[in-house]
Amino acid sequence: MGDETMNGVGQTSLWTAAARARESARADRLFHDPYAELLAGPHGQDLLSHFHTSRASDEGNPFLPIRTRWFDDALHSALEAGIRQVVGLGAGLDTRAYRIDWPTGTTLFEVDQPSVLGYKRAVLDKAGITPSDSLTTVPADLGDDWSTALTAAGHDASQPTMWFTEGVLFYMPRKLAGDVVLRAAALSAPGSRLTVDLIGTGIFRFPYMQPFLRKLEDAGSPWQFGTDDPGDFLTENGWHTNVVTEPGRPDASYGRWSSAANPVELENLPRSYLVAGHI
């Protein structure tokens, strides 16, 4: 199965994988994804250069490494708290099923378009790389009835779940993004957790972002939804919000991004949020 079978949004997972590969090659890397370069392939590298022309140096854009590390930390925190059911919504070419040492008894589900999951499995299988025995893939588009498919695949709504959806929700209209989060809440027992990333509406107004946004639209994968109240977005859709932060804040810097880069008092900056909630 080639990457040409993936649609516009699915294709974005290739350049995200290329960015993870670039970070993994650094001596001071925030995480190590040994499979990212293989999954990205030459096309992913080309897409990374295309979408991030002005930031395609070895340093790259610090947001993605911070985001990936922050999600990793949130997952490890949930596992340390005893949660043994994990769901990646819009899993893309994420390789946590392969690179994390999951505790015995953990059940991991990946939900995404059949073409994306099929591409990932085909590439890694060909290289002889097998996922954790904990993994169950759920081929379903988040715009369809993915929750029924997840339940049929074995998800147990009576047990706490750690949900994560990384680099996904802003590709959706607001209503659909809210529905995804709300459906997760409906399948969550007390003690469940959720981590998401969201973008602020300033991204759509900031002049520097316009060429990038046009490239996304031309590729059939436009960013559609932003919010300046990310905590309220979770609360409106069934979750108690306990963390709202941005790259550069003390809890989401990792020495890569200064808080001076996005001062709170300035409006219309292209903000990205890391948000966590619980049931």
- pLDDT tens across 230-263, in order? 999 999 999 999 999 998 898 999 988 876 667 6
State the pLDDT confidence band at 57, using cuts at 50, 70 and 90: very low
Average pLDDT of the chain is 91
Place of tokens 């392969």: 98
Give the angle 161-100-131 at the CA atoms, nearest 5°: 90
CB 29, CB 19: distance < 8 Å: no
Q: What is the pLDDT of residues 204-216, one digit of tens each?
A: 999 888 999 999 9
Outline where the chain has alpha helix (H). Answer: 8-24, 36-51, 63-80, 96-99, 114-126, 146-152, 174-186, 210-218, 230-236
Position 54 scores a pLDDT of 47
Distance of CA 75 to the CA centre of its chain: 12
Q: What is the pLDDT of residue 265?
A: 63
Which two tokens mark 207? 């002049």
pLDDT at residue 4, as a whole number: 52
68 has a pLDDT exceeding 50? yes
Q: Max CA-CA distance within the chain? A: 51
- Token pair of 70, please? 């922050």
Q: What is the pTM of this model?
A: 0.92
Instruction: Domain 62-278: give its CATH code.
Output: 3.40.50.150
pLDDT in tens, 118-177: 999 999 999 999 998 999 999 999 999 999 999 999 999 999 999 999 999 999 999 999
